[in-house]
Amino acid sequence: MEKFYETTAIDYVNGAPHIGHAYEKILADVIYRHFTQRCDNTFMLTGTDEHGIKIQKTAASKGITPKQMCDENSQMFKDAWKALDFDYSKFIRTTDEQHVRVVQHIFKKLMEQGDIYKNKYTGLYCSGCEAFLSEKDLTEDGLCPDHLKKPEVVSEENYFFKLTKYKEAIANHINTHPDFIVPAFRKNEVLHQLENIEDISVSRAKSNVSWSIDVLDDPDQGIYVWIDALSNYITAIGYDVDEQTDQFKQLWPVNLHVIGKDILKFHSIYWTGILMALGLPLPQQILAHGWITIDETKMSKSLGNVISPTTLLEHFHLDKPDAMRYYMATAAPCGKDGNYSDKDFKEKVNAHLANSMGNLLNRTLSMLVKYFDGDVKPEFKIDSPLKNKAIETVKDVMHHFDYYEVQEAAQKIMLLVDEANKYVTDSEPWALAKNGEMDKCGQVLTTVLDVMCVISSLIYPYCPNIAQDMAKQLSYDLKSTKLQDIKSDNIKVGHLIDKADIHPVFLRIDSELADKSKKK
């Protein structure tokens, strides 16, 4: 791959980050880290969406300015992503001066070329969605299906984007690019929405929504959320109406937008239409992920089941976020909904990260020290079906990531871990040592350690800290090894490790050592 440019949705800063936000960022980061292992030129964009009526009202209720609230809440999102080791390249805020300036000129360009026009409008407005809805969008009771609230009737003179002008071209693109929408089962849903599409409002009267970017030459109008928010994907990398930066030319079109299924319509239809109007190449793919429920129940403030990602780390005394990253990234098949529960979290990460993977490395290194003082001899290096299986797994994992099947890729990794554990159990290196068959014992241990190097590369996107700890104990160059270049022979002949340097890479959550309160 020449380059890999990935984005997440930018988060609305009307509240604090929760586990739903964290799910998207972890999923996106796992995909991103995987492709950094295959490509040198990579870029990850995330950020915050900071304009609109909800922010205006919430800030007023707190007695602070909208900008003050945006500054405070945007920092909360940054702090949360730092705690989760989200490896983004840039964090954009839609209040950034550069973004504001370019959005104004995008709006002006579209207006000058006839793609934006002014019109009086009466429609059903959902403040939760920050969108106008049609009667067909509502439930039988006349409610917004996502927020279960009745939209208000709004009459304004606004600017509209001629989305209907691009309707046929959008449908043609979706139909001729079967990989454009991931997962594929969402394609028909989008095409159905497109059938009933109308021109969309892209401004609001400043008298109703004052906290917005001004429309140039019309100070009574503010640029509405979609041109403002969606344009971040190009403004962040140097797009300008008159001249593009080298970075923009290098990175655009984006390889992957990672978003929630609830905003797929805006990305696959609205954003596609805006880009067509700007004469820009379209995104290569849009991944619409599902939602995370809590104990099989949708998150809700009224139910009191909204979980902060940092609170979860603190609750389980996790110094590093790897366990949470692994659990969340593997919570659901591609595009489907997933679920979080404390019980399942503990059971899954203890079984996979501590009992299976961590214990395999720990006991193998311990036997190498016990029987060979931590040395690897030339005669220990042999070919093995297990090592061949490891290389096959690398190819399988890469294939799954090509389709953003993150859960499915993790399952392949854990199958390899299980194969390696079975190999140790069946080979019984302790029995070989007892019987004096030392070369065979060393061959078994070295084979497993060679495979553990491969596993550290494959698990790195999910668990970067655990992977680097594994690689350090194996003296394996994790950072410089591209996935397509991985070999089955990784452990160097000579002294590998001393007893003092062997330690568990992940402690069981319910173990005394993992519980800081018990340590004290």
Residues with active-site annotation:
18, 21, 126, 129, 144, 147, 298, 301
Report residue 273 CA to chain centroid gap: 25
Partnered with residue 47 across adjacent β-strands are 92
> Do 33 and 85 contact (CB within 8 A), yes or no?
no
Nearest-angstrom CA–CA distance, 397 and 490: 19
* Spatial CB neighbours of 359, under 8 Å, sequence gap ≥ 6: 504
Cα angle, residue 519 at apex, residues 513 and 520 outer, rounded to 5°:
170
Using an 8 Å Cβ cutoff, are 322 and 84 in contact? Answer: no
- For 435: left if phi > 0, alpha if psi spans -120 to 50, otherwise beta; the answer is alpha
Please provide the size of the chain in residues: 520
CA nearest 387: which of 429, 446, 430? 446
Give me the residues paired with residue 7 across strands: 45, 257
* Helix, coil or strand: residue 350: helix
Q: How far is CA 244 from CA 135, 193, 328, 423, in A?
A: 41, 33, 37, 56
CA-closest candidate to residue 161, choices 243, 273, 74: 273
> Residue 479 is inside which H or E element, if any?
none
Residue in 26, 31, 7 with CA at minimum distance from that of residue 405 = 31
- Bridge partners of 297, per DSSP, are 294
Alpha helices in 350-483 (DSSP H): 359-372, 385-402, 406-427, 429-434, 438-459, 464-474
